[in-house]
Chains A and B, each alone.
Chain A
Amino acid sequence: MRKYVVIGNGVAAAGCIEGIRSTDLNGEITVVSLENHQVYCRPLISYYLENKTSLSKMGYRENDFYEKMNCRVIYGKKVVKIDADLKQVVLDDGETLPYTKICVADGSSPFVPPFEGLESVKNKFSFMTIDDALALEKAVTKKSKVLIIGAGLIGLKCAEGIKDRVSSITVCDLAEHILPSILDYDCAAIMQAHLEENGIKFMLSDTAVKFSKNKAQMRSGKQVDFDVLVLAVGVRPNTELIKNINGQVNRGIVVNDRMETNIQDIYAAGDCAEGNDISLGGKRVLALLPNAYMQGHAAGVNMAGGNEVFDKAIPMNSIGFFGLHAMTAGTYYGEEQGGRLYEEKTDKKLKRLYTKDGFLTGFILIGETERAGIYTALIREKVPLGKVDFDMLQKSATWAAFSKDTRQQKFGGVV
């Protein structure tokens, strides 16, 4: 009987467990969970603070998920070592778990630069886990002045989540615009203006260089008083377990389309993994929930002896702040890289479609996001634009731009 060890207990782990069980009902599955929680919807932690969901609704699966999947879960423990020769993993309490196949799905960790005086700050938080959210919830009051370091997805979702619970929020970032991982300067300006209208203050091209208790000394020379500090500078994939046994690691743990690492019987999935991004034609860490699930599922099926490839991964984000939604996907090639851009822009709406060599490779939509999935599918499926009426598609995402035969196939058949 196969023994599966799943390191981590997030969405990639859930996908892995379901992948294994779709193929092997009998093998022994052990899940090692550092967090003392069943798998939950991690991206909902800001929605929890915003009162848009509750703890009971945040479970990613039913409460009896592990029983149904016939898994043992070890909570509150960390894997400290994979021994690929003895084929066992070692936990921080010394327990060893023998394995036939492993999936490393233990996500990423907040990256905290060494700020001078950070230890003197009492109320400081990361914003990655449900426990982070609960701790932050306890710390803030209607009078709190909050300083968030980092204007990326995590920092800004945190800002939105706590807006109505606090007195003021200032977000600083070394980058010259917000959401640098998904937006460029012009696009970010639209979202920034909207966030400012909703009471969020920004200090961009600036960051804290020194803390002393409730004061931050900024690089610009300004000083910020705060009661609560949120550190959302960035995250780093957890790669040490694989690095320590000389597995291939770039930014994340390198995997192929079957989610295999270069070490026999070891797979990786989710935010710790670096797989193929087909819009880029190269490897990239794609720390997104959909990819985590699909990578995990593929890993699980393959670990159990089946065959599943996940070869359609692309970066994609749907993110809204105070009612204004932005959707982004794929890779934005500039003109110097042979890319072409189609753009429509007004005050609060923006559409950018990036094409290269006759394919849609990426898009940015702000404000108007209807049927965006039609664009996403063009990227994921690498549909040659010669096969569709792209002039029509540029103006509006519609199936009218596809051939009659394709429509007949899709809307007249099982898909």
Chain B
Amino acid sequence: MKRVYVDEKWCLGCHLCEYNCAFANSGLKDMTYLKNKAIYPRIHIEGEGQVSFAVSCRHCVDPICVKSCIASALSKSADGVIKVDQNRCVGCLTCVLVCPYGALMPNEKGVMQKCELCLENACGQPACVSGCPNKAIVYEERGDVL
């Protein structure tokens, strides 16, 4: 399956991916509406100074978050995408406790949200990838072991 991969060599640490992600999932018409608002993106820049890189869901082959979810709100679809059913999530944060990548964070209401590869919003492909000025984030196949 196609996943989001990051190459920190090219990451500028500009945080544009966070804005593109928040906008893509906001339903807003124009990104300027995000000005002066707290954003809750599903991708985060970590690191500082010389080292920076983006972290979002790795869509693990064997996802521990799915196995650990006490509300059965997390699931792995047939095509390998890990999704959260926000209607079922009770905000217990067990997935935050177990995700080795620190990739899961709740939204402003305390309900979990996560990268679902922009497959179900208007973007068609991950907004973080389309908007990365330095191609530090890509969306491609990289050899799943079947």
Contacts and interface: CB of A to CB of B under 8 A. Distances in A.
Interface secondary structure of B, over-half rule: loop
A85 interface: no
Contact of A290 (B47, B61, B67, B143): B67
A377 B65 CA distance: 12
Nearest to B97: A318
Contact of B92 (A320, A323, A370, A381): A320
A327 interface: yes
Contact of A411 (B51, B55, B61, B110): B55
B60 A415 contact: yes
Interface residues on B, range: 35 or more
A374 B94 contact: no
A371 B96 contact: yes
Contacts of A316: 97-98
A41 B58 contact: no
A377 B101 CA distance: 9
Contacts of B101: 373-374, 399, 410-411
Interface string B102-133: 10110000100000000000000000000000
A327 B68 CA distance: 14
A374 B44 CA distance: 15
Contacts of B144: 414
A410 B99 CA distance: 13
A44 B70 contact: yes
B93 A53 contact: no
A325 B93 contact: yes
Interface residues of A, number: 49
B100 A374 contact: yes
A185 interface: no
B102 to A, nearest CB: 3
B70 A373 contact: no
A43 B145 contact: no
A393 B47 CA distance: 12
A413 B68 contact: no
Given A53-B90, A320-B93, A411-B55, A294 B102 contact: no
Given A41-B72, A43-B70, A414-B145, A52 B90 contact: yes
Nearest to A43: B70
A47 interface: yes
Q: Give the 3 A-B residue pairs with the shortest CB-CB distance, closest first.
A: A371-B102, A377-B100, A290-B68
Interface of B: 3, 5-8, 46-48, 51, 53, 55, 58, 60-61, 64, 67-68, 70-72, 87-88, 90-102, 104-105, 110, 142-145
12 contacts: A43-B70, A57-B87, A290-B68, A290-B98, A320-B93, A371-B96, A376-B97, A399-B102, A400-B46, A408-B8, A411-B53, A415-B61
